[in-house]
Amino acid sequence: MESFSITRPDDWHVHLRDGAMLSRVLPYTARRFGRAIVMPNLDPPVLTTADAEAYALRIRQCLVPDSDFEPLMTLYLAESTTPAEIERASRSPVVAAVKLYPKGATTNSARGVAALDALGPVLDALERFDLPLLVHGESTSPDCDVFDREREFLDRSLVPLVERHAGLRVVFEHITTADAAAFVEQAPARVAATITPQHLLMNRNALFQGGLRPHHYCLPVLKREEDRQALVRVATSGNPRFFLGTDSAPHSRSSKESDCGCAGVFNAPVAIEAYAEAFARADALDRLEGFASHFGADFYRRPRNRGRIRLERCDRPGPAAVGEGPDGLVVFFAGEALRYRVVGPD
């Protein structure tokens, strides 16, 4: 196709950060997406409804005049979270969901949850007040192989949680394995998953292509080729339980290219183009709109966006970085050919 248009998409999983980083990265998300689910793993985290409302305001203050981008906020589930806080969150016009980080699983997860069992009353409250639980699905047990963390979390924690809380809506975030895809396919309709562009376009070989590649490192880490293929299959299947969540997670070049590099891929500047590339490679561009623009809104029970964006054939590499030097942000897929680019609203 030379050119095509889709309903304006939403990003159901993004890290916008705060302060100077927020001002640098927000424009890339806000110019493409109508809404975004904003992750709460700031330091300190977004623990309360009041924190989320203040953060939403800081985001709005960073938007260009007349932007109609809507940040949808999340609370960071901690062992200190109370059912009363969940009730408050459910009444807030800006809070859309609550995020579960297993303690120590990823960036700024030190305040995350070590013992899920202790959270029963809070999970009951999520169910009662109908707020979705977003899950970073990785086991943190020290003897678990890093490539098995999602699988172990699924078996030991997620399956029992979904069974125990029969009315809870759950998003299994940034799934990376064939096992996770199969689980969501056979789970009840209240369970969905987001998929990132990097997990659709790369497998774990990309981490070691000609040397160590820190800019391909994110959590959950890239998996095997058969996992990537399973993700492409479900993303392009038209199954509404799989939808777009970029997990765009900026870190400066110096914190990625380091002794102990941070996890996170900054894909916001090319996110739609990268998803289009993955769908084009699978000969499934006709399925992109559902995945990118319809299914997430339906799951979160929000109206689909009304505007449209147009993509045009281009076969050009995307931008390599935002900013220069150690503070620069290396962009996902830098230097690789992308066969479509967004040419603006339709």
Kindly list the residues in this chain that would bind ligand DOR in the complex (CB under 6 A). Answer: 15, 41, 106-107, 136, 218-219, 249, 263-264
Backbone angles phi, psi at 315, to 5 degrees: 55, 50
Nearer to ligand DOR, 35 or 251 (CB): 251
Nearer to ligand DOR, 15 or 24 (CB): 15
Query: Residue from 11, 138, 227, 247 that binds Zn ion (CB under 5 A)?
Result: 247
**Nearest residue to 327 (alpha-carbon basis) of 255, 268, 224, 232:** 255
Of 42-50, 220-228, 247-255, 278-286, which part binds Zn ion (CB under 5 A)?
A: 247-255
Nearer to ligand DOR, 204 or 304 (CB): 204
3-state percent breakdown (helix, strand, coil) of the chain, nearest 5: 40, 20, 40
Query: Active-site positions?
Result: 247
Residue 144 makes CB contacts below 8 A (sequence gap 6+) with 152
Nearer to ligand DOR, 55 or 340 (CB): 55
280 binds, among ligand DOR, Zn ion, none (CB under 5 to 8 A by kind): none
**DSSP secondary-structure letter at 322?**
E
269 binds, among Zn ion, ligand DOR, none (CB under 5 to 8 A by kind): none
Amino acid identity of residue 204, one-letter, is R
Backbone angles phi, psi at 118, to 5 degrees: -70, -10
Contact criterion met (CB below 8 Å) for 58 and 23: no
Contact criterion met (CB below 8 Å) for 59 and 26: yes
264 binds, among ligand DOR, Zn ion, none (CB under 5 to 8 A by kind): ligand DOR
96 binds, among ligand DOR, Zn ion, none (CB under 5 to 8 A by kind): none
Nearer to ligand DOR, 263 or 334 (CB): 263
Cβ at position 316, least distance to ligand DOR in Å:
27
Cβ at position 280, least distance to ligand DOR in Å:
25
Cβ at position 41, least distance to Zn ion in Å:
7
**Nearest residue to 298 (alpha-carbon basis) of 225, 243, 233, 217:** 243
Cβ at position 256, least distance to Zn ion in Å:
16
Give all strands (DSSP E) within the chain, no chain letters.
3-7, 11-14, 35-38, 70-76, 95-100, 133-135, 170-172, 191-195, 242-244, 308-317, 321-322, 329-330, 337-345
Cβ at position 256, least distance to ligand DOR in Å:
10
Q: Which residues bind to Zn ion, rule: CB under 5 A?
A: 247
